[in-house]
Structures are given as C-alpha cells and as structure tokens.
Structure 1
Amino acid sequence: MSWYCDYAIGDDLHGPYHDKEYGFPICEENQLFERLVLEINQAGLNWGLILKKKDNFHKAYDGFDVDIVSEYSEKDRARLLEDEGIIRNKLKVNAVIENAKTIKAMRDSHGGFDKWIASHHPLKKSEWVKLFKKTFKFTGGEITGEFLMSIGYLPGTHSPECPIYKKIEKLSPAWMAQGLEFYQE
C-alpha cells in the first residue's frame, strides 16, 4: 500500500495538508462542507491542483458557508463557471450548491452534518458509498472514501510509522474508536 506520507512529508504543497488536516477528526459544518467540496472537485484531477486552488475555492464559495452557498442563484452559478481560480465544471458546481442544501436540511433531520455522519458510523466503505450516492450529488466511491478518511471516519490516511499518525491517534478518530485497523471495502 502506498501512503500519502511517502511523498507528502516535507513537500511544500502536500506537506501542510498532510501534517495538519488529512485524517484529523473534524465536526464543524463548514469545515466538513469544505472537505466535501474539495474532494468533489478533485475527481479526475490531481490532488495537488486542488491544494493549489484551495484559497480560490474558499473565496469563490464564500468561505464554504453552507447557509450562503445553499442560497446561490443562477447568477452565482454563472460566476463560478467563469472563475478561473477554481474548477469550472458545471456538474461539480451544481453538486456543491445542491449538497449545501442537503447539509442545511440535515440540521433539522439529524442535528447537523456531523451528527448525520456519526449516526451512520461504523459502515464499510461500500455501504458509505451507497449512502452518499443516495444522499449527495457527485459522490462516487473515491470521493466518498477520501472524504471519510480525511475527516477521521475511515482508516488509511497515514502509515503507522508516520509521526502524524501518533498525533491523530491521540485524538481517537471514529475509525480508531471502533477498532477498525484497515481500509474496508
């Protein structure tokens, strides 16, 4: 198995994400939304490109504020499709807006996006993929798996020898709390 650690550690672009974000548990709604948006936009592209454009995404999508993005108009969609700083893919832009609406609705149905995720844990990756495909737009197996790994719900982000693994271990992410030791299909 190839780990992100194998090439991210010390890399100017990948290193900060590896060291401070990837695999760390998060529960704040806008942060979860940001991670989902970035994973959706990465589909078919290189993660490095997404990291290079991360600040542009933050600006284009109003700081990933679910309330604001869920209310985007056709004018906003057009603005995003013209924004050279982000990925200008109509399917991805539409998915982001629709997914913001879905996440906003989860406040009433589950108490929030984080509680919705927690209410389904633990699932095997294949079960998560089915759930995400049923619930969200533009979320296939790779997007769902990477999203859940990146927020601490599935294992596989760092090798056990990686110093960041030890930091994450102290935070007891959901996959560790459930005793999952490998990436489950």
Structure 2
Amino acid sequence: MTEPVRCSWPSSDPLYIDYHDREWGVPERDSRALYEKLMLDGFQAGLAWITILRKRDNFRKAFDGFEPERIARYDQQDIARLLGDAGIIRHRGKIEGAITSARAYLEMREQGTSFSDYLWQFTGGKTIQNHWTGMDQVPTETAESRAMSKDLKTRGFKFCGPTICYAFMQAVGMVNDHTASCFRHKELS
C-alpha cells in the first residue's frame, strides 16, 4: 500500500503524521475544545508544534482538562505547581495568560456569547477553502486572524497575536490550508 500524498510539514514522526491526518483542519465547534486549542497555540509561541503535541496529554492533566471554570480559579499556588511541572512548557507569562484567558472566556459566556459562535464569526461561520499548491504560499496571518487577535485582546485574552490566531484557525478548520495535492484537502473541502 502506498503512502497518501500529504502536506510537506509533518515530519516522519508518527505522532505528527497522525495529527495531520486526523485532526489538523477538521472543523471544531465545541467551545471548550476551542479554548484548549487556543491556549495550546499560545504555549507554542516560539516553539515547534510537535513540542506541544508531545506534551499535550501532560498539559491536559496539569490544566484540569482545560476546563475554563477550574482554570479561572487558579491562584499563586497553582501557578507555582505549574511552574514546577516538567511535563509542560514552564513559562510564567503563558501560564498566567491561560488563567487570564479562562476568566475572559467565562465573562463572554456570562454575557451570553458562545465562544464557538464568536470565533467562527471571523470566517462567516464556515471554513475558508484555500487551494495552495505549496506550503510556501500559505500566509502566516490574514485579515481574519488580525481581526480575531485584536478582538480577543480587547476581551482580555493573552498570547493570541495574529500569527497564533492563524495557526489556530488552520488547526480547528476555520481555514483549509492543506495543500491541494494533500489527500486531506479534498476530504475537508
């Protein structure tokens, strides 16, 4: 059996290939799952995604399954616990940013705003279908990711610049950035 044609970015690492083949670019509409992914993309800033992917289960344990209700109540003792956890990225600013972002998430919900609906509004509620022939054509940010970043920041979210927002949009299927020759492009069109 021959290997399917994929985007060029996943290395030969089976974890990366599985992520590409099963998860990346699949439309996600669950608010909690979207919060988790946005936080993980924030932790990735300055690092390779495979680093986060290898630590994702540790992050989920350390951050109580990325339940915003629990994270919003974290205090200095929790921050110290997380800073001592070698299974995650131990960056004080990113840890505190996840807590601040959980509080912003809950504030939106208390105001009657669905986090999922809010995020998907930046793409008109549907996946933007791109048709790149090579990864060199894929932008690092777009007008939509800049608008999302700006609005998230005004609501109190942290580590959500336009490049992070675009990586997030790719991962959660707001944009289909699988290259046109990749077997997943057609499946997700």
The residue number in structure 2 matching 1:6 is: 8
Alignment of 1:124-163 (within 5 A): 124-135=144-155, 136-156=157-177, 158-163=178-183
Query: Deviation at 1:167?
Result: 2.2
Alignment of 1:80-95 (within 5 A): 80-95=82-97
Task: Give yes or no for the alignment of 1:115 onto 2:135.
Answer: no
Q: Structure 1, residues 71-93: CA drift from partner, whole Å, max 9, x if none? A: 11221111111111000001000
Question: Is the contact made by 1:19 and 1:164 (CA closer than 8 Å) also made in structure 2?
Answer: yes
Q: In the superposition, relative to structure 1, how do residues 9 and 88 fare at CA in structure 2: closer, same or farther (>3 Å)?
A: closer
Describe the SS at the equivalent of 1:88: coil
What is the TM-score with the length of structure 2 in the denominator? Answer: 0.79
Which structure exhibits the higher relative contact order, with contacts defined as CA atoms closer than 8 Å and separated by 6 or more residues? 2
Equivalent residue for 1:99, pick from 89, 98, 101: 101
- Matched letter for residue 151 of structure 2: L
Aligned equivalents of 2:111, 2:188: Cα separation in 1: 30
Q: Structure 1 segments of 4 or more deviating over 4 A?
A: none
Structure 1 segments unaligned to the other structure (5+ residues)? 170-185
What is the TM-score with the length of structure 1 in the denominator? Answer: 0.81
Count of residues in Structure 1 that have an aligned counterpart in Structure 2: 165
Question: Is the contact made by 1:160 and 1:166 (CA closer than 8 Å) also made in structure 2?
Answer: yes
The residue number in structure 2 matching 1:168 is: 188
**Which structure's residues are more often helix, by fraction?**
1
- Matched letter for residue 54 of structure 1: R
Segment of structure 1 superposing worse, 100-109 or 60-69: 100-109
- Matched letter for residue 153 of structure 1: M
Structure 2 segments unaligned to the other structure (5+ residues)? 1-5, 125-142
Query: Deviation at 1:7?
Result: 3.7
Task: Give yes or no for the alignment of 1:21 onto 2:23.
Answer: yes
Alignment of 1:59-74 (within 5 A): 59-74=61-76
- Matched letter for residue 141 of structure 1: P
Q: Kindly, what percent of the aligned residue pairs are identical?
A: 35
Aligned equivalents of 1:105, 1:20: Cα separation in 2: 32
Aligned equivalents of 2:55, 2:31: Cα separation in 1: 21
Aligned equivalents of 1:48, 1:120: Cα separation in 2: 27
Question: Is the contact made by 1:9 and 1:19 (CA closer than 8 Å) also made in structure 2?
Answer: no
Aligned equivalents of 1:33, 1:115: Cα separation in 2: 12
Query: Deviation at 1:27?
Result: 1.4
Q: Structure 1, residues 93-140: CA drift from partner, whole Å, max 9, x if none? A: 001011111111221334321021134434633322322332311211
Aligned equivalents of 1:16, 1:155: Cα separation in 2: 17
